[in-house]
Structure 1
């Protein structure tokens, strides 16, 4: 058995895998909402954020050890890699938890997303998108070979913190988030990206939560994993009002609380990022994968497979 702890910008998650030949089974999947991206002040991880991370990591470590798992593999993404005090914050967390944390780069995160997710959906070629709490990863691939992998330093929680003044983004704030995404995208080398992708492989909590809202809106089974992108704008509009109004109706608020309660603050900023990328690449469908960076990390760094993909 192998225990992986994914230290993300929104959540910290412990997943325990049992390996059977070339397959794996998930024996335990425990998520804690940490919101580490909201503890970044002046581009530095605050002491409160470090304390929050330590408390959760110690709890998750104990769970793994109680199950007899000695080897625990924690890795961190944007919340800890993008701050200016990354090295000091990670060192303190390591000293207090006795865990060795692997901070992965944005490009590595994107490639691990592909390794973990792309083979779980029936898309041999396309664009993979992972919208996290403080970063967004994009991978262009053809015939299951990565063409380009980039990471944008904006995610659902960081966008909420930087651009949303009240609880829900108004129209002006939506435009600011969309413009920020396009500005960051224009700074990247996207020469290997196509102008359009009919289908997208969707990864991560924001897209999975968007799937839940989509299925709820159209009374679809929770097993449905395809989102038709033409409906994304209308779903967002359902939860927003005119440019001066920051509140939504009680009915729509209740829906968010019922369907995505843990992402009540971040789901709309995240969906605005998604909408912007859908429009940019003329996508028609999103096929949502339940696998992603953790499964990629398991495959690449723990099971030491896929030597042909450098991360």
Structure 2
């Protein structure tokens, strides 16, 4: 049986279709396609513009049509920070739903962090550490203890929103990079749950920004693992941005050209989290929030 999930994000609208076993306990991805919608660019004075609503609706419609070719049992659409953090959230979602003829589930910060953990846990063993998901509009940070997500913080700063807020050109200057790091530190310190007090040896990463950074690290590191990075690796990438910029850009254009303007911002967020949690290493998880939605909202709800 096939099931589809459409993720409406700040930078992309992505469709995943999964082949699920009859008992609902196993699944594999049979289609993974994205549209570069760049919805965050259509937010003006805290409001998603009519043009942005139209772009979102068209992307969702295309995803629904593409999914239909695989005859899924159902297709769910969810949205995260880009529609959660705007002033006209309710109206924008209703308009997109009407134009795309669908229903959109708006994930709360807690939902997004928890589903990221559920998805990551479906493929990788997570024991103790911090799970990091750097999205386009926000970064979800989840404390894991004894294989359970025990504390969550949503930082309203992602790779795309930090680019729009701080960067004046394609790549950040050293001052702009430091400004992004400074905001991450301040947001973590201000978290009401006290997340900043914890220290862990290991981070776990989900999402496109972290996957791309690991692949760039492997490319520049001469065949290093694209699933694991150390504290030294991420700080060497920072050096690459400012001291070997052409090599860094060439690697990004080879690995993930659509992220050429946001990947350094994602790195600024990641390095600050490495430092704030005093972490030594990061493991890139295979699954994330979309798989978490499939498991928690579709499969565990009785299909």
TM-score normalised by the chain length of structure 2:
0.94
Matches within 5 A, 1:166-245: 166-191=169-194, 195-220=198-223, 224-240=226-242
Matches within 5 A, 1:279-290: 279-290=275-286
Gaps of 5+ in 1: 242-247, 307-311
Question: Partner of 1:8 in structure 2?
Answer: 9
C-alpha distance in 1 between matches for 2:69 and 2:209:
31
C-alpha distance in 2 between matches for 1:137 and 1:250:
31
Gaps of 5+ in 2: none
Question: Partner of 1:253 in structure 2?
Answer: 249
Q: Does 1:267 align with 2:263?
A: yes
| Length, aligned pairs only | 299
C-alpha distance in 2 between matches for 1:275 and 1:14:
29
Cα shift at 1:226: 0.9
Question: Partner of 1:54 in structure 2?
Answer: 57
Question: Partner of 2:288 in structure 1?
Answer: 292
Question: Partner of 2:109 in structure 1?
Answer: 106
Question: Partner of 1:74 in structure 2?
Answer: 77
Retained in 1: the 8 A contact 2:153–2:195? no
Which of 122, 127, 131 is residue 128 of structure 1 equivalent to?
131
* Cα deviation 1:187-230 (Å, max 9, x = unaligned): 21233665311111101111001111111111226x64111121
Question: Partner of 1:17 in structure 2?
Answer: 18
User: Would you identify which runs of 4 or more consecutive aligned residues in structure 1 move more than 6 Å?
Assistant: none
Retained in 2: the 8 A contact 1:121–1:201? no
Retained in 2: the 8 A contact 1:121–1:287? no
C-alpha distance in 2 between matches for 1:250 and 1:143:
43
C-alpha distance in 2 between matches for 1:283 and 1:192:
14
CA-based RMSD of the aligned residues comes to: 1.8
C-alpha distance in 1 between matches for 2:202 and 2:122:
14
Retained in 1: the 8 A contact 2:126–2:144? no
Retained in 2: the 8 A contact 1:133–1:155? yes
TM-score normalised by the chain length of structure 1:
0.91
Q: Does 1:39 align with 2:42?
A: yes
